[in-house]
Amino acid sequence: MSAARGLVLAAVSGLVLATALGVIYAKHQSRKLFVELRSLEQGRDLLQIEWGQLQLEQATWATHGRVESIARERLRMRIPAPESVVIVRQ
């Protein structure tokens, strides 16, 4: 019986050790993935900030006053006289 007990004890000890190593490995992987997740979230946040800035810049460049000013200066466009305006109705 003593040899059988020793064998069982050795097997249980081996299983406990293997389980402990599995837990350590899983925890390590979990931490590694968590760090990667935080890094990706930070990158996402920076891209969202940049997107907001680009939208603001686009809105600034596309204001009615700016478009009208460029049309007048660069394209020499003018508002037509009221008598030259033709309204087309269907």
Q: How many CB atoms lie within 10 A of CB 82?
A: 6
Confidence grade of residue 1 (pLDDT, cut at 50, 70, 90): low
Tens of pLDDT, residue by residue over 56-84, are: 999 999 899 999 999 999 999 998 999 99
pTM of the predicted model as reported, rounded to 2 decimal places: 0.59
Instruction: Return the exposure string of 58-74: e unless at least 16 CB atoms fall within 10 Å of the residue's CB, then b.
Output: eeeeeeeeeeeeeeeee
In the prediction, which pLDDT does 25 show? 98
